[in-house]
Amino acid sequence: QKEVEQDPGPLSVPEGAIVSLNCTYSNSAFQYFMWYRQYSRKGPELLMYTYSSGNKEDGRFTAQVDKSSKYISLFIRDSQPSDSATYLCAMSAGQAGTALIFGKGTTLSVSS
Amino acid sequence: GAVVSQHPSWVICKSGTSVKIECRSLDFQATTMFWYRQFPKQSLMLMATSNEGSKATYEQGVEKDKFLINHASLTLSTLTVTSAHPEDSSFYICSARAGNRVDEKLFFGSGTQLSVL
């Protein structure tokens, strides 16, 4: 079993839809959870950053972490064509200098 | 937010030559930088962790003699792909943590697409 599992999609939705992206993980030591957005042939851009369990909201984006289920989600409300990208979940146990473990990424396409 | 500059953004080279990729943290000091490799439609795979003033730590299966990493200052790390071959063609991305705290966010460069002919 991989440390981080993420459905690669592709996921296609109409403009204005609510999008739900998810990742599961196996390492219970993970404490820091992030969502990155990556456009084709560009570096990932940090979208959301969450420590431990709970919800975090930023504009149209909401990140949820359920450590008991080892499951994290990213919700996008009122999706826009500009949201079309690959979304990568990433997580870390948090020791100093520890790199992130990434999911494979979910490709999202929002049609106008 | 913090800015990480990476260049070149793309490079084409002949098989057997060496290629250097630079990663700079522009507005913060990065004690630790990370180098990732990404194949099409695949996730980012960590290659090595680069610490300023010391040797890099390579992930299992990554040849340290082929992928030379130098972290000479708190704002610059370089990855040199030596004697590149077509199988080294990939998207290479660096990242840096803006600080030493374990909860500091990680920021990424824009990536380098390497094509070896």
Tens place of pLDDT for every residue, chain A, 112 residues?
678 999 888 999 999 999 999 999 999 989 889 999 999 888 898 899 888 888 999 999 999 999 999 999 999 999 999 999 999 999 888 655 567 888 999 999 999 9
* Among the listed residues A90, A99, A29, the one whose alpha carbon sits nearest the alpha carbon of residue B57: A99
Write out chain A residues lying below 8 Å of B39, CB-based.
none
Please count the other Cβ atoms lying within 10 Å of the Cβ belonging to residue A52: 11
Contact B40, B96 (CB under 8 A): no
Contact B11, B76 (CB under 8 A): no
Task: Report the residue from A43, A98, A107 with minimal CB separation from B108.
Answer: A43
Q: Is A59 helix (H, G, I), strand (E, B) or coil?
A: coil
pLDDT in tens, B68-86: 999 888 899 999 999 999 9
pLDDT in tens, B86-112: 999 999 999 987 666 555 677 889 999
pLDDT in tens, B31-67: 889 999 998 878 889 999 988 888 899 999 999 999 9
Write out chain A residues lying below 8 Å of B108, CB-based.
36, 43-46
Q: Are the beta carbons of A102 and B102 separated by less than 8 Å?
A: no
